[in-house]
Structure 1
Amino acid sequence: MSTSTSSSTSTSSSTSTSAHAHVQKPGWFTVNVLNRSVAWLTRRGLSVWGSRVLAVRGRKSGAWRTTPVNLLTVDGQPYLVAPRGHVQWTHNMRAAGGGELRLGKKADAFTATEVADDDKPALLRAYLKRWKAEVGVFFNGVGPESSDEELRRIAPDHPVFRVELKS
């Protein structure tokens, strides 16, 4: 779904990184069937609706950590959205400032900048428009037709990172 060393961008609204940050842990089926199936296909070069395998260095271990993600593109700019909230990959992204997006044998290195909450409504709307059937349950009734105010209300619960691919 950060930056070189600090992953938040200072704008009119800060991003949420507090200890009480929103997290929705996946259930057994998601972890053991859905995520593994999507990751398996993506590692073999078959993208499922924009899927990639995100690889980010662990903030404590330094080891590569991987998870399947949906790569959102808005106006030609790629983004990563964390529908489940402030999960491990978002913490690692903030610490590492980037990682790799993998599809098959291709690994695209990138840097990432966290998007401010006030700048998220259009991105969350686009994400929900594309993947609501898959992730809508994590957005507490807010969907692509919701108002900017409703999207801004849930924005702190869903980190968003602007991806800059390295040449």
Structure 2
Amino acid sequence: MLSRAGEVIVNTASRYVAPGRSTNLFNQAVAGLTRLGIGVWGSRILAVRGRVSGEWRTVPVNLLTHDGERYLVAPRGHTQWVRNLRAAGGGELRLGRRAESFTATELGDDEKPAVLRAYLRRWKFEVGVFFAGVDADASDAELRRIAPGYPVFRLSSR
């Protein structure tokens, strides 16, 4: 944590919120349904090669479609899947037996406010706790302020 004029702020460039037990249970349930081909609110299984092991790593994610583009947002910050996706440059989105390969381009912080707002409109009930009081009605300036702590990737089909 950094201090500025008596204000405590979080170093958002390295922000990471570890999953708790309830998050792990929820993720397992969503992942199980998604593997069966039932997308819960647009859920998919993200499969990406590990940056060290080279083995496939999987995690349930919320796929966002906004203005005709598809995005992955990391509400818990700079997670292992984010680091792996940066290194691999792409992966697969799985729903049941279907797997779609994609390439990923990480957005700059100035590009994130509209995507973060759309993400919060769609999934605030699920991920709002990770946004510390910021919601879809926040100003562009407020969303830009928190943007470094929330990696966002634009997906393109391979």
Query: Same-fold call, TM > 0.5?
Result: yes
Q: Which has the higher strand share?
A: 2
**Structure 2 equivalent of residue 28 of structure 1:** 21
The equivalences for 1:2-17 within 5 A come to none
Letter in 2 for 1:144: A
**Structure 2 equivalent of residue 113 of structure 1:** 105
Partners of 1:127 and 1:20 lie apart in 2 by: 20
Unaligned runs of 5+ in 1: 1-17
Conserved? CA contact 2:107–2:151, under 8 Å: yes
- TM-score normalised to structure 2 length: 0.91
Over alpha carbons, which structure has the higher Rg? Answer: 2
Count of aligned positions: 148
**Structure 2 equivalent of residue 85 of structure 1:** 77
Letter in 2 for 1:159: P
Q: Structure 1 residues 27, 109: closer, same or farther in 2, change over 3 A?
A: same
Partners of 1:20 and 1:51 lie apart in 2 by: 26
**Taking every aligned residue pair, what percent have the same amino acid on both sides?**
65
Higher relative contact order structure (alpha carbons within 8 Å, sequence separation ≥ 6): 1
Conserved? CA contact 2:72–2:154, under 8 Å: yes
Partners of 1:116 and 1:134 lie apart in 2 by: 24
- TM-score normalised to structure 1 length: 0.86
Runs of 4+ aligned residues of structure 1 deviating over 3 Å after TM superposition are: none
Partners of 2:45 and 2:12 lie apart in 1 by: 27
Confirm whether residue 62 of structure 1 aligns to residue 60 of structure 2. no
Letter in 2 for 1:28: R
Partners of 1:77 and 1:146 lie apart in 2 by: 22
Query: Displacement of 1:19 after TM fit?
Result: 10
SS at match of 1:120: helix
Confirm whether residue 40 of structure 1 aligns to residue 32 of structure 2. yes
Unaligned runs of 5+ in 2: 1-10
